[in-house]
Chains A and B, each alone.
Chain A
């Protein structure tokens, strides 16, 4: 009897504080319940279930110079199925732009943030990939990756390597636009069914007092590489 009493006393040192704690937390929960949902929503806005990658996080490139090219479908006009292509995410390198004549060898990334332009050429995400038959709009800094554009001439050939195919483009036009003029031109031609590679950078290349508003623009048309079939309504 005495032993049971002793054990009970000892156990009371454990379960009494536990009971008190549970009651206290219940009281706090009931008192703060109206604010709890708001607080929980606020916290969920700032957290994720796993560690997320932001545009500032280094993403491994999907471009692999040794990758096997995509399967070419046999048809009247051979093509590559868009479903066989690994579409890049923001900040991922998906290609390499080369022009040996002017010494240009630039990695190409999807999206055109400040972070990306430090590393290579960024593609405006409103345009499409090589082979898709639409405009490809690339930008880069004139002191680094697109510095060779100043030496480019009409007729030069640019190679655009991707995992799925190697494309070549011939320069058709080199012009200096005002930034607003370029913007209007891009908007006007963005959805045309003509594959045109457009590379632009700040102009002039030298120091200029004040903000630079001109853009050196190099346009090139595709001369080799397979079409990518991406529109579902196209018949075979």
Chain B
């Protein structure tokens, strides 16, 4: 056993590691591992958020109730524009479509698109109502809508007149059918969201790679975290670098989305109609909010680890009466940045 009054030589000290160069090496390695942990945190959070954004649930959540009101108004205007030149009273299309049905159709359409399934929007009931209104209007205008049967007629009709009459009725009925089909087609087109097919395609491709991205990010983070701790003999020193890592993870995940949020370029999107623009704004804003929320988790962990570092360090210092006797030099106990 060594004489307690004789200072230990560095070669007998457990913390002996080549002195200053060893400390610098430990610091450099710790920084590298810590940086890698920060990168893996950023990668993991980005991967998760992108997965969340390219999903059916998120897409539906971005559709505000006002979307359907705007859609209904736009649809009625388009129907009016289509109806006017025909000579049909444009009020026949008023309130044909209700927002509850639109919402249901839209959610089913979005769900089917994400599942790569075809969804047929059923407009049979609205079509029947519209047809009835059109025929009521035509009857009020005295337009013949039913063929005549000479046998049922009280007046004798010649064959040519009957044929001309029935031809006109058939043309009217065909025109009405075409008109109703066009209005229903307007509705079906309005339910579809532009670029959704593209989002679904990208999302589904991404879903294939997502598990690998997560596993790689997590493993990478864990391995680097482990080595970050291993480089230091005392746990609170290794933990300090993990605090830097989580702090960096917070900054990386938070900063750019926050800057974009402040810039607000998405509020100046040149897209119409207004309800679709609001949907796109909500979509982008929601994604940015997710980044900012997730980043708070890293910040919270960084704070907890920081507190843990302080506790462990205090515990360590209290347990040492004289640091030199325990073989831990005062230099070892200082942070990298001293001097």
Contacts and interface: CB of A to CB of B under 8 A. Distances in A.
Contacts of B88: 207
B270 A210 contact: no
A207 B86 contact: yes
Contacts of A210: 171, 175
A118 B80 contact: yes
Contact of B87 (A21, A51, A56, A207): A207
A16 B244 contact: yes
Interface in A29-50: 43, 46-50
Contacts of A43: 265
A103 B141 CA distance: 23
Given A118-B81, A209-B171, A143 B265 contact: no
B245 interface: yes
Contacts of B302: 17
Contact of A209 (B42, B172, B255, B268): B172
Contacts, number: 129
A50 B245 CA distance: 39
Interface residues of A, number: 44
Interface residues of B, number: 54
Contact of A24 (B138, B175, B248): B248
Interface string A126-164: 000000000000000111100000000000000000000
Interface string B235-259: 0000010011101101110011000
A8 B35 contact: no
B189 interface: no
B268 A48 contact: yes
B42 A24 contact: yes
B199 interface: no
Contact of A17 (B84, B175, B250): B250
Interface string B139-151: 0010100000000
B89 to A, nearest CB: 8
A73 interface: no
A56 B277 CA distance: 13
Given A9-B335, A143-B84, A206-B87, A18 B251 contact: yes
Which of B174, B251, B272 has the largest count of A CB atoms less than 10 A from its CB? B251
A54 B269 CA distance: 12
A59 interface: no
B86 A212 contact: yes
A56 B39 contact: no
B87 A208 contact: yes
Contacts of A51: 267-268
Nearest to B256: A25
Contacts of B172: 207, 209
Nearest to A206: B87
B265 A47 contact: yes
Contacts of A23: 35
Nearest to A113: B81
B295 to A, nearest CB: 11
Given A13-B306, A24-B42, A143-B90, A50 B268 contact: yes
Nearest to B86: A207
A20 to B, nearest CB: 4
B250 A212 contact: no
Contacts of A24: 35, 38-39, 42, 248, 252
A47 B270 contact: yes
A12 B338 CA distance: 10
A5 B336 CA distance: 10
A25 B252 contact: yes
Contacts of B34: 16, 20
Given A210-B171, A212-B85, A212-B87, A17 B248 contact: yes
Interface string B58-98: 00000000000000000001101100111111100000000
A199 interface: no
B304 to A, nearest CB: 13
B268 A47 contact: yes
Contacts of B84: 141-144
Interface in B167-200: 168, 171-172, 174-175
Contacts of A13: 243-244, 247, 306
A20 B86 CA distance: 68
B271 A46 contact: yes
24 contacts: A4-B338, A5-B334, A5-B338, A8-B337, A9-B337, A12-B335, A12-B336, A16-B31, A16-B248, A17-B251, A20-B244, A21-B38, A24-B39, A24-B248, A46-B269, A46-B270, A47-B269, A49-B268, A51-B268, A118-B81, A141-B84, A142-B87, A143-B90, A209-B171
Interface of A: 4-5, 8-9, 11-14, 16-18, 20-21, 23-25, 43, 46-52, 54, 56, 114-115, 117-118, 141-144, 202, 204-212
The 6 closest A-B pairs by CB, nearest first: A17-B247, A20-B248, A207-B87, A209-B175, A16-B244, A17-B248
